[in-house]
Chains A and B, each alone.
Chain A
Amino acid sequence: AQSVTQLGSHVSVSEGALVLLRCNYSSSVPPYLFWYVQYPNQGLQLLLKYTSAATLVKGINGFEAEFKKSETSFHLTKPSAHMSDAAEYFCAVTGGGNKLTFGTGTQLKVEL
């Protein structure tokens, strides 16, 4: 079975500051890990994914995440926040099949 825990349901950063959204996973098999973003009244859009290749994964809009097996983590970062990054972010895990298990989400607020 797989699960993810997202630490912090709300994160607030200043525009231009570092964004760090935390995700820890649990998986009985080598995991595939994903970060999705959801803007208000829209569906989920894939930011990036880890599928057992490079541990540092680069995604869209300047986001990246690093898979750390020893820490069972897959934290999402962006060096400089932009107002347009304000959204809800979901970490998700699958054991290589089709069943995605999502975290509870982190609402990112970007302030001037």
Chain B
Amino acid sequence: EAGVVQSPRYKIIEKKQPVAFWCNPISGHNTLYWYLQNLGQGPELLIRYENEEAVDDSQLPKDRFSAERLKGVDSTLKIQPAELGDSAVYLCASSPRTGYDEQFFGPGTRLTVL
């Protein structure tokens, strides 16, 4: 079974530029998560989707961050414009259904903003 796929793995941009990350969850997983992981810290939830609906986006900085999961499968997280403080690893995870306890993580995208 293929795991959670994320691309790109690494991205270097200059501040004020836009950037987008893509995630393809495990086939059949209805719940998708985007996490932010700063250096030396644990992941922090940005947004959770149940199918195509964002059911928890309370931690997403909506002034510059946006996300979509149009067909309830893959998802895109965007930052526009990027700031120096956005340098971090962006992790995507998925789980089979609401209330299922285990989350399966992708390898992450490491963003560096110069």
Contact B106 A105 (CB under 8 A): no
Residues in B neighbouring A99, C-beta threshold 8 A: 45, 48, 56
Binding site for B on A (CB under 8 A): 9, 32, 34, 36, 41-46, 49, 51, 90, 92, 94, 96-100, 102-105
Give the size category of B's interface with A: 20 to 34
Dominant SS at the B interface? loop
CB distance from B35 to the nearest CB of A (A): 9
CB distance from B32 to the nearest CB of A (A): 10
Q: Which of B41, B91, B98, B104 contacts A98 (CB 8 A)?
A: B98
Q: Which of B9, B42, B110 contacts A92 (CB 8 A)?
A: B42
Contact B105 A102 (CB under 8 A): no
Known: A43-B108, A99-B48. A49 touches B101 (CB 8 A): yes
A103 to B45, CA, bound (A): 13
Kindly name the residue among B101, B103, B105 whose own CB sees the greatest number of chain A CB atoms within 10 A: B101
Smallest CB gap from A90: residue in B: B42
Known: A43-B107, A43-B108. A104 touches B101 (CB 8 A): no
Given contacts A43-B108, A46-B102, A98-B99, 19 further A-B contacts (CB under 8 A): A34-B101, A34-B102, A43-B91, A43-B93, A43-B106, A44-B91, A44-B105, A46-B104, A51-B101, A90-B42, A96-B99, A97-B99, A98-B31, A98-B33, A100-B103, A102-B42, A102-B44, A103-B42, A105-B42
